[in-house]
Amino acid sequence: MSAYKKILVAIDLTEEAPQVLEKARLLRDSHNADLVLVHVVEPVGYAYGGDIPMDLTELQDQLDKAAREQLKTYGQQYGVGEPDQIVTVGRPESEIHRLADDLKVDLVIVGSHGRKGFQLLLGSTANGVLHGSVCDVLAVRIKDST
């Protein structure tokens, strides 16, 4: 019996995402598990101060559309069907916890830069996912391309 049957892979859609996806593919294949890809788009109001009196709906829609297109590309490359490609809006840690619970996943995979000092004080999605998760969490160390 495999330890992992359903794996949630949370990616940020940067050029570093394939490092996380490759690790997820290996685990999927070795455990004969299902993969679910998720990208969380943060609400535009968070990035732009939230109290600015302007309608940012169009910008939010553009970000959502771009995320869906990129996730679809990754889904095709890594053999994950469209029903298992999720784009949602919210705080990444909260949305990943919610989806892990709703989908009853056994493992959440996230990327981690291993920041220290001041960068660590700013917080990290991987750290936020780890604390409060109801299942195993694998933080894949992102290797710098430099």
Structural domain includes residue 1: no
Q: Tell me the per-residue pLDDT of 40-96, one tens digit each, with 9 for 90 and over.
A: 998 876 555 555 566 678 888 899 999 999 999 999 999 999 999 999 999 999 999
Average pLDDT over residues 96-125: 77
pTM attached to this predicted model: 0.85
Q: Are 77 and 28 in contact (CB under 8 A)?
A: no
Q: What residues make up the domain containing 10?
A: 6-141
User: For the chain, how many structural domains are there in total?
Assistant: 1
Beta strands in 14-113 (DSSP E): 34-41, 85-89, 107-112
Structural domain includes residue 146: no
Structural domain includes residue 131: yes
CATH number for the domain that contains residue 112: 3.40.50.620
